[in-house]
Every structure is written in structure tokens, then in C-alpha cells.
């Protein structure tokens, strides 16, 4: 595994890290028959290596579209995305993605889902199994390695999807509302688990969420977006230690401020 010297537990923000991802004047217009939808327009942003940056914005503002552009799954209408100076025009294993609806393969067992990326990379069977095992343990699903996907709860599916994306060791992980479908309690547990998982890895995380609370809890930076066409409304730096206390004054204040800003765009859930 390519793992840099562990940055474990250190606050992600504030370290001297270079820019890893450059989003340069990105624009996307969907054309369907005679209708055009301009979803993203003149979007520029620099993302630092190893940071967790989250995007909050009203529903349908184009968050998933932005992630798919970064992943290279859809072509931009204008502008471009670069990782370490390379143009991201095609999808690749350097950018892992956790999909909004998990997108697990139902014909594969949990273990086989996690092994998929290693399998297509030609990793030998024994090695593959061992690495999948390690990540299943990381997300606490080692007991379910041989279960079918359809037998899992939403939260478990989510963790399989996270393990599947992490196991190939991507530089960047794109997470599309990974906890959106979970109840509040499971969601909190998952957020804590993600914080733990992230402490042991050095990946850059681009995280999309509807929940301002979740964004503040997890992120080094929160990007607040406008509604369609999506632009950046504000970027909030959060240089606090982890784990964070949701009931602290500063947490509550910040949440209130971001929420009121989003309310001007649309109604958001807390």
C-alpha cells in the first residue's frame, strides 16, 4: 500500500500542503432534445492535498454533476479539472467515488464488491483477498464478507461502498451524500467512523452533503453553493480539532450562519 508517513489524528487543516486539484472555469450544460439546462457555470476552485472539503447546496443545484465532472465520468462543456497538473478527462482509479445510491454490484458478495478494483488492476488473488479483508475490518464488516449485498442495511451498504473505493488506494475520494439515506443516529455513527477511517489515511476527500451539521463536523473547508447554475457563494475554513463538539458555541454559531445563508438560496435540512 502506498501510504505516506501517517498524518494520523493531526488536524487536517493548517499543515503545509500544496494544491492538488485545480478546477478551472468549469461549466456544464446538459442538452436533452431541445432543452438546455445550465447546471454549472464558471466554477473555479483549488483543493489542497489531503484536505476534506465539503460542498453544501440546495437540492438539484448540480453537486452530483460536479463530482462526476471531477471523476471524468461526464465531459465538461467548458473549463477543465486538473489533478497534480494532469487533465482529468477520463475516469481512473486515482479518483475513487462513493455514489449517492451506493452502486454496489448485487451479483457479487460483499467481499467481491470490495475486491472489484483490485481484480481489474490484476492484483493476485491472495493479495486481493488480504487487502479486501483489511478494509472490511476498517469499516467493521469483516463478519459480512460473504453476505449478499441485498441482505445488508443501508448503513452497511454505505460502508461496503466506502471500503470498495478506499481499497484501491485512490489519491482523491469523491463522496456523494454518502450518509443521505441514513437515519440520524446511524448517520452520526457513520460520521464518527469516517473521521476515524480518515485519520488513518491521507487521501483528499471531496464530500457532498445536504447537512450543514455534517459538513461542519467533518470538513477542513465547507464550500457553500448557490442554486442553479451552481457557483460558489462562500468558502468557510474550519481549523478546529477533531473530534468536534456539535454542541459547542462556535459550532452552533457557524451552523446558524451557514444555514441562514443557504436559506436565501433554498430550504435546507439541519
Partner 1 sequence: MGCKAIGGRYDPGNRAHRLARSACVTTVSLAGLVLVWWFLSVAIDRQMLPSPPEVWDALADLFANGDSMTGRSAWTYIGSSFSTFIKGFLLAFAVAFPLGLALGYFNLLREFASPAFEVLRPIAPVAWAPVFVILFGYQIGPMMVVFVGIFFPLMTSVIFGVRKIEPNWTDAAKTLGASPLQIFCKVVVPASIPYLMNGVKVGLGIGWMCIVSAELYASPVGGIGFYISNQASAGYWPGVFSGIFLVGVLGIATVGAADYLHRSLSKRMGVDAS
Binding region for Mg ion (CB under 5 A): 64
DSSP sequence for 34-84 = TEEEEEEEEEEEEEETT-EEEEE--TTSSHHHHHHHHHTSS--SEEEEEET
Give the integer Cα–Cα distance in Å for 86 and 56: 27
User: What sign results for the dihedral spanned by CA atoms 102, 105, 111, 117?
Assistant: negative
Measured between alpha carbons, how far is residue 105 from residues 9, 18, 118, 146, 163 in Å?
Answer: 33, 36, 15, 14, 14
User: What sign results for the dihedral spanned by CA atoms 42, 207, 4, 94?
Assistant: negative
**How far from each other are the two terminal CA atoms of the chain, in whole angstroms?**
38
Among Mg ion, ligand ATP, partner 1, none, residue 95 binds (CB under 5-8 Å by kind): partner 1
* DSSP H helix total and E strand total for the chain: 7, 10
How many Cα atoms occupy the beta-carbon half-sphere of 148 within 13 Å? Answer: 4
Identified binder of partner 1 from the candidate list 12, 28, 63, 95, rule CB under 8 A: 95
Q: 71 or 222: whose CB is closer to partner 1?
A: 71
Question: Minimum Å distance from CB 228 to ligand ATP?
Answer: 6
Q: 135 or 207: whose CB is closer to ligand ATP?
A: 207
Identified binder of partner 1 from the candidate list 96, 204, 210, 215, rule CB under 8 A: 96
Copy the grid coordinates of residue 206. Answer: 471531496
Give the integer Cα–Cα distance in Å for 70 and 67: 5
Q: 157 or 242: whose CB is closer to partner 1?
A: 157
Q: 2 or 35: whose CB is closer to ligand ATP?
A: 35
Q: 39 or 197: whose CB is closer to ligand ATP?
A: 39
Q: Which residues, 6 or more positions from 255, have their beta carbon under 8 angstroms from its beta carbon?
A: 212, 213, 216, 270
Identified binder of partner 1 from the candidate list 39, 71, 145, 230, rule CB under 8 A: 71
Residues binding ligand ATP (CB under 6 A): 30, 32, 37, 39, 59-65, 100
Q: 63 or 242: whose CB is closer to ligand ATP?
A: 63
Residue in 171, 167, 170, 149 with CA at minimum distance from that of residue 158: 149
Among partner 1, Mg ion, ligand ATP, none, residue 71 binds (CB under 5-8 Å by kind): partner 1
Q: What is the DSSP letter of 144?
A: G
- Residue 169 as a binder of partner 1 (CB under 8 A): the answer is no
Q: 29 or 147: whose CB is closer to partner 1?
A: 147
Question: Minimum Å distance from CB 169 to partner 1?
Answer: 11
Identified binder of partner 1 from the candidate list 7, 93, 182, 268, rule CB under 8 A: 93
Among Mg ion, partner 1, ligand ATP, none, residue 59 binds (CB under 5-8 Å by kind): ligand ATP
Question: Minimum Å distance from CB 36 to ligand ATP?
Answer: 9
Which positions lie near partner 1, rule CB under 8 A? 68, 71, 73, 91-93, 95-97, 99, 101, 103-108, 116-117, 119-121, 148-150, 164-165, 168, 174
Amino acid at each position: 500500500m502506498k501510504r505516506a508517513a501517517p498524518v494520523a489524528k493531526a488536524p487536517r487543516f493548517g499543515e503545509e500542503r500544496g494544491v492538488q486539484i485545480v478546477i478551472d472555469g468549469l461549466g456544464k450544460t446538459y442538452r436533452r432534445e431541445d432543452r438546455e439546462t445550465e447546471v454549472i457555470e464558471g466554477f473555479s476552485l483549488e483543493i489542497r492535498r489531503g484536505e476534506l472539503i465539503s460542498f453544501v447546496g440546495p437540492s438539484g443545484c448540480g453537486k452530483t454533476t460536479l463530482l462526476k465532472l471531477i471523476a471524468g465520468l461526464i465531459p465538461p462543456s467548458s473549463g477543465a479539472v486538473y489533478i497534480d497538473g494532469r487533465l482529468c478527462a477520463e475516469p481512473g482509479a486515482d479518483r475513487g467515488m462513493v455514489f449517492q445510491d451506493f452502486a454496489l454490484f448485487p451479483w457479487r458478495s460483499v467481499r467481491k464488491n470490495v475486491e472489484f478494483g483490485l481484480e481489474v488492476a490484476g492484483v493476485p488473488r491472495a493479495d486481493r483477498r488480504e487487502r479486501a479483508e483489511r478494509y472490511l475490518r476498517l469499516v467493521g464488516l469483516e463478519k459480512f464478507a460473504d453476505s449478499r449485498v441485498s441482505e445488508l442495511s443501508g448503513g452497511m451498504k454505505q460502508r461496503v461502498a466506502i471500503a470498495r473505493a478506499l481499497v484501491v488506494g485512490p489519491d482523491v475520494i469523491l463522496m456523494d451524500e454518502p450518509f443521505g439515506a441514513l437515519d440520524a443516529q446511524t448517520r452520526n455513527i457513520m460520521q464518527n467512523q469516517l473521521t476515524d477511517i480518515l485519520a488513518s489515511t491521507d487521501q483528499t476527500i471531496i464530500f457532498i452533503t445536504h447537512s450543514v451539521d455534517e459538513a461542519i463536523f467533518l470538513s477542513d473547508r465547507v464550500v457553500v453553493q448557490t442554486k442553479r447554475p451552481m457557483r460558489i457563494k462562500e468558502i468557510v475554513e474550519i481549523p478546529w480539532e477533531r473530534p468536534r463538539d456539535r454542541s459547542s458555541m462556535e459550532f452552533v454559531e457557524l451552523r446558524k450562519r451557514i444555514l441562514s445563508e443557504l436559506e436565501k438560496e433554498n430550504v435546507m435540512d439541519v
